[in-house]
Structure 1
Amino acid sequence: MIKTYRQIFVLLQPREQRRFILIAFMSLFNGIFEAVGVVAILPFLTIVAQPEMIQTTPALVRVYDTLGFTSDRSFVVFAGVAVFGLILLSSAFKALNVYVVARFSGMYSYTLSSLMLKGYLFQPYTWFLSRNSANLSKTVLSEVGIVVNQHIMPAMLLMTTVASIMSVSLVLFVLEPYVAIGAIVVIGGSYLVIYLLVQARLTTIGKDRVIANKARFKTVQEATGGIKDVKITGLETAMLRRFRIPARRMAQIQAQSQMISQLPRNGLEAVAFGGLILLILSLVQRSQGGIEEVLPVLGLVALAGARLFPAVQALFQTVARLRTSAPAIEALLKDLQEIETTPNRTPIPTGPPPAPIGLRDQLVLDDIHFAYPASDKSALTGVSMEIAANSVVGLVGGTGAGKTTVVDAILGLLRLDAGALVIDGAPITDDNRLAWQRSIGYVPQQIYLTDESVAANIAFGLPRSEIDMDAVKRAAQVAALHDFIVEELPQGYDTIVGERGVRLSGGQRQRIGIARALYHDPDVLILDEATSALDNITEEAVMDAVHNLGGKKTIIMIAHRLTTVESCDCIYLMEHGQVAASGTYAELVEQNATFRRMARA
């Protein structure tokens, strides 16, 4: 149990740690209120059963005289109201404690999910290359909620439950020690034995739940993300069958967990009632007086039992939930430790976004070397390039030649093993990397479009209130997209494009990608095989829009078809992670046999 609270404390931020300690003190006071409520019932039942004690007990006489009572009946009524008030106050404080815990847990779910997403977003680009996006989504959207609701919140309520049990048990032990010892041995011992029998099963259930939940998320993402392939190949039933296996396992796990947590209750209720009957018979047998002598003790035990039995059952359920959710919090802590210790993390901005540094003279790749993590082969070896500002440069080469890696280096996504990316004589470092990236517009081969309006997709990532429609329209005009939007789309720039742009053609999606890259008016535009999936006519139209920017922006393009780079100012031919040749299209055709074969293909 100490390990549980240590794990929770590690997850909490300093402010949450202070609140956690405050809630711990609230739990202690809640236990005291519970005990006061139980203790108060004994004198009340005593004067109900034996009213003459009002006039023979010094403490009661002082209260009677001070408050000016004139009859024993009215005093009994007052005592009943006072006891009821104490019990009501105890219940109200308990409700307040539950509310505070629930609010803390709910807000911390928001804090922790934001913390995890922040940790992921500021990982280096290469970190994502070996991660499954479905698992990352699962952690942020599902596992955090499970950890908070099934681990942190129960652990906090556990403090309240334990404080209540200990306080009421202490009162019962002082007033009726044999009853208290019997209750602890029978009820507490029974719960302990049952827990020891099921704890291993609870741990297994928790591990199985993590695995099943991961499989559910992965299957749903693959089924919906590749819906076209699923439809074409008729895999709907296969995907559904694949999903049902972990989904059914999740349902079984939840049922087993619920069953185990309720396991002791029914049997021990019978034990508790049997014990109460035995207690009544024992008290009656030992009593020298009538029922009025036994009544106060019975009332005390009944009230204590009414408080203790649900609390002990809640204690068992909570401990069972903590055991089941332990694998989830361990996985989350492992993830958190990993994202906090990953080398070369992206620095977290502490102020407003830096202004773009732009490109005024020359972009230089100076003898750069790079190998991907866990790879024993270099992706780039001694690559050097000089790209003049406002020129159009092409990168060509076969699959695996290193073209995309060069572009990723220019984008500032890679931490180079050697060499430097130099902009206008200044090397790019962590201090100016973000400012350089704000100078770049990037158009990938596959444009990621959200199920939002055309305008929201062009101004990708910005809240609707911050979108500059003048900039949106200006970018669309440069991308030769404006006329299509205003003339053919029913709501113009407010038209919803559908998830991943399913309502648009390939050429229209690519033009939105170009417009998005141009929205912030960057100095450098990079196209990573942005037209390779288009037909010749559509590609020509898109490239016309790109070439119209020639002389105004620096354009770097990876091309699959050499006709795309035919009019470039300079072309770099990549082979095996190195620059094999460079020059104009005509020069390379004349001087390089590999390029010549590519041109004739």
Structure 2
Amino acid sequence: MRYRSDYAYSDQRVNWRILLSLIPYLMEFRGRVILALVLLTLAKLANVAVPVALKYIVDHFESSPETAVMVVPVALLVAYGLLRFGSVFFSELRDAVFARVAERAMRRVSLRVFEHLHRMDLGFHLSRRTGGLARDIERGTTGISFLLRFTLFNILPTLLEIAMVAVILFVFLSPGFAVTVVVAVAIYIAFSVVVTEWRNRFVRQANQMDNRSNTRAVDSLLNFETVKYFGNEGYEARRYDTDLEAWETARMHNRLSLAALNSGQAFIIAGAITVMMVMAATQVADGSMTIGDLVMVNAYMIQLFIPLNFLGFVYREIRESLINIERVFRLMDQPAQVVDRPDARPLVPDGGEVAFDEVSFGYGADRQILHEVSFRVPAGHKLALVGSSGAGKSTIARLLFRFYDVDRGRITIHGQDVREVTQDSLRAAIGVVPQDTVLFNDTIYYNIAYGRPDATPEEVHRAARLAHLEAFIQRLPEGYDTVVGERGLKLSGGEKQRIAIARVILKDPPILVLDEATSSLDSHSEQAILGALREIARERTTLAIAHRLSTVEDADTILVLEHGRVVEQGTHDALLAANGAYAALWRRQQRGEGLG
């Protein structure tokens, strides 16, 4: 399967049903959600009651202007203060109760995405863009928290408050006020939705340009040494600035469209307040309304349209959050191409005999790599894979480790098809020393112990000794606690490779795959490491991918590959005597020409 590196970008409308997928996160803390909704209702009731209390206080002064403040019913003033406090207190208490729900949702989604990415096959990871992917995950998980908080505690409460205000105005004043509020709110919401939908393309473009520039920066920094080798700092800066320029333009369009939205919303709010105040002033003038009623109408307009104006912002943010969440969910919807079968059972290596039976494989219809490859490695034997670059040597190792599934044929370990056993048990049985060792940005101890995280310090130190690392580590001021840097850049290639060897020694698997495990070592270190590898491989089934033929002279069988086909196999001496492809490769290396 070919993966698109821009998998998450689409011009489709966001699916609002995404909201339904968040319900399970709410149900995990059902009691907290119900309590938060109760507190929300109490906060809105208190908030809506404040203008009513204010109306009665003003009406009291209007009817008896000569009376002192102390004559005003104390209970009414206390009620006004308590309602003000209650509105804020219940809102804050609601946020405190709901905090665990939102944070746990972010944690759950982040973990699900992380686990899903590790389930994806190698093809996905080879085509991904790490910087953009990280931004998508970050925005998506943050968007979930925002969506849970603001949908429940801003959209629904504001709509509830609008309904309460409309009812109060209808009961206390006249239907005209209630109708005006409802119509103004309907126009406001319709305008906000239409313009926000129009703006979404600018939001998408800004996110896409943000991802592209971030991907460019991460890729350039990861290849820092290559940039330096060719003196291309200026070239990288120009490419990065080109992406930043596109991001700047997209952000400008986003800002201008936001200004248009805010201006339109402000016009609707101002118009509604003006109409309401004119209606109220007219009725006060003809005596059908009191000054207290006028104050109540004004208070409701301010109280209602401030959150409604915020509602416009919240809707925009929710819409953007939905876009971001959609990208994360679309990522999780991508199926892995290598999965365990429902009836998969644990692998029983029993010595680890490996067999390839008529295996064919390609990375695509137009890139066939292996053609009907067959061989067998008895338990405890060593098979070397040699051939020119592109012959399919590393592909064989990837197929054995089940980074990919074969197109035809089958691969077995002790007679068990690798597609019929669990991936965890398969990979637990195989230790790999790759040609290009990548380390975690952590300590040397951590990177060795990664082969078996529950290993004791004594076992870690023993693995380091067997990999001839101990003398190097002892020369370091911080010893095993030395941080190796991102991807191990603070260490030499040989030091990284010895850590990889120590890691595999610690893992102690029955099957070893050595992908030119000594390619980064000098001659002296190579001989020492080869001795250590021969020692640990003595009772293990070993596949050794070799570029330097001198490192695999001791192999029980040497397999020569050309263009994905086995052209020769036998021992080192037998193949030299046959004077075929292997002998030609050997002579080329003796002349210093390499394998190509």
Q: TM-score range by the shorter chain?
A: 0.7 to 0.9
- Alpha-carbon distance between aligned partners in 2 of 1:14 and 1:190, rounded to the nearest angstrom: 32
- Alpha-carbon distance between aligned partners in 1 of 2:188 and 2:426, rounded to the nearest angstrom: 67
- Letter in structure 1 aligned against 2:543: I
Q: CA RMSD in A?
A: 3.5
Counterpart in the other structure of 2:200: 203
Matches within 5 A, 1:107-506: 107-140=104-137, 142-148=138-144, 151-156=147-152, 157-176=154-173, 177-186=175-184, 188-190=186-188, 192-193=190-191, 195-196=193-194, 198-248=195-245, 249=247, 251-252=251-252, 255-256=255-256, 259=259, 262-264=262-264, 266-267=266-267, 270-271=270-271, 274-275=274-275, 277-287=277-287, 294-339=290-335, 342-346=336-340, 357-360=348-351, 362-372=353-363, 374-460=364-450, 466=454, 468-486=456-474, 488-506=475-493
Shift of 1:207: 1.6
Instruction: Flag the 1:333–1:173 CA change in 2: closer, same or farther, 3 A.
Output: farther
Shift of 1:557: 1.0
Counterpart in the other structure of 1:60: none
Counterpart in the other structure of 2:55: 45
Matches within 5 A, 1:518-533: 518-533=505-520
Shift of 1:161: 2.2
- Alpha-carbon distance between aligned partners in 2 of 1:124 and 1:247, rounded to the nearest angstrom: 32
Instruction: Flag the 1:297–1:48 CA change in 2: closer, same or farther, 3 A.
Output: closer
Deviation digits for residues 161-214 of structure 1 (CA, Å, limit 9, x no counterpart): 222222223322332322232334346525633653x33541111220231132
Counterpart in the other structure of 2:19: 8
Mapped contact 1:381–1:578 kept (Cα < 8 A): yes
Instruction: Flag the 1:192–1:551 CA change in 2: closer, same or farther, 3 A.
Output: closer
| From 81, 93, 99, the counterpart of 2:90 | 93
**Does residue 572 in structure 1 map to residue 559 in structure 2?**
yes
Shift of 1:105: 3.1
- Alpha-carbon distance between aligned partners in 2 of 1:437 and 1:387, rounded to the nearest angstrom: 18
Deviation digits for residues 501-557 of structure 1 (CA, Å, limit 9, x no counterpart): 223222111111111111122222211123334454544443233223342333321
Shift of 1:584: 0.8
Deviation digits for residues 289-312 of structure 1 (CA, Å, limit 9, x no counterpart): xxxx61221232133223201121
Deviation digits for residues 5-33 of structure 1 (CA, Å, limit 9, x no counterpart): 521222x3634356589748955873575
Shift of 1:78: 1.0
Mapped contact 1:455–1:493 kept (Cα < 8 A): yes
Shift of 1:228: 0.3
Higher mean Cα deviation, 109-118 or 256-265?
256-265
- Alpha-carbon distance between aligned partners in 2 of 1:252 and 1:380, rounded to the nearest angstrom: 51
Matches within 5 A, 1:549-568: 549-568=536-555
Mapped contact 1:440–1:523 kept (Cα < 8 A): yes
Shift of 1:39: 4.2
**Does residue 30 in structure 1 map to residue 21 in structure 2?**
no
Instruction: Flag the 1:280–1:135 CA change in 2: closer, same or farther, 3 A.
Output: closer
- Alpha-carbon distance between aligned partners in 1 of 2:157 and 2:556, rounded to the nearest angstrom: 74
- Alpha-carbon distance between aligned partners in 2 of 1:489 and 1:316, rounded to the nearest angstrom: 59
Mapped contact 1:481–1:512 kept (Cα < 8 A): yes
- Alpha-carbon distance between aligned partners in 2 of 1:489 and 1:7, rounded to the nearest angstrom: 53
Higher mean Cα deviation, 76-85 or 538-547?
538-547
SS of residue paired to 1:317: helix
SS of residue paired to 2:157: helix
- Alpha-carbon distance between aligned partners in 2 of 1:253 and 1:104, rounded to the nearest angstrom: 35
Deviation digits for residues 54-88 of structure 1 (CA, Å, limit 9, x no counterpart): 9xxxxxxxxxxxxxxxx995771112212332343
Shift of 1:439: 1.9
Instruction: Flag the 1:127–1:187 CA change in 2: closer, same or farther, 3 A.
Output: closer
- Letter in structure 1 aligned against 2:26: E
Mapped contact 2:14–2:322 kept (Cα < 8 A): no
- Letter in structure 2 aligned against 1:594: A
- Alpha-carbon distance between aligned partners in 2 of 1:236 and 1:369, rounded to the nearest angstrom: 43
Higher mean Cα deviation, 392-401 or 90-99?
90-99
- Alpha-carbon distance between aligned partners in 1 of 2:220 and 2:201, rounded to the nearest angstrom: 29
SS of residue paired to 2:73: helix
SS of residue paired to 1:480: coil
Q: How many residues align?
A: 568
Instruction: Flag the 1:146–1:550 CA change in 2: closer, same or farther, 3 A.
Output: closer
SS of residue paired to 2:334: helix
| From 479, 487, 509, the counterpart of 2:496 | 509
Instruction: Flag the 1:346–1:139 CA change in 2: closer, same or farther, 3 A.
Output: farther
- Alpha-carbon distance between aligned partners in 2 of 1:489 and 1:188, rounded to the nearest angstrom: 71
Higher mean Cα deviation, 509-518 or 376-385?
376-385
Instruction: Flag the 1:136–1:39 CA change in 2: closer, same or farther, 3 A.
Output: closer
Instruction: Flag the 1:554–1:344 CA change in 2: closer, same or farther, 3 A.
Output: closer
Instruction: Flag the 1:302–1:281 CA change in 2: closer, same or farther, 3 A.
Output: closer
- Alpha-carbon distance between aligned partners in 1 of 2:458 and 2:347, rounded to the nearest angstrom: 20
Shift of 1:403: 1.0
Identity percentage of aligned residues? 26
- Alpha-carbon distance between aligned partners in 1 of 2:341 and 2:35, rounded to the nearest angstrom: 38
SS of residue paired to 2:391: coil
Instruction: Flag the 1:421–1:29 CA change in 2: closer, same or farther, 3 A.
Output: same
Mapped contact 2:557–2:570 kept (Cα < 8 A): yes
Mapped contact 1:358–1:522 kept (Cα < 8 A): no
Deviation digits for residues 264-302 of structure 1 (CA, Å, limit 9, x no counterpart): 4654565466446524531331116xxxx6122123213
Matches within 5 A, 1:533-544: 533-544=520-531
Shift of 1:442: 0.5
Counterpart in the other structure of 1:62: none
Mapped contact 2:382–2:555 kept (Cα < 8 A): yes
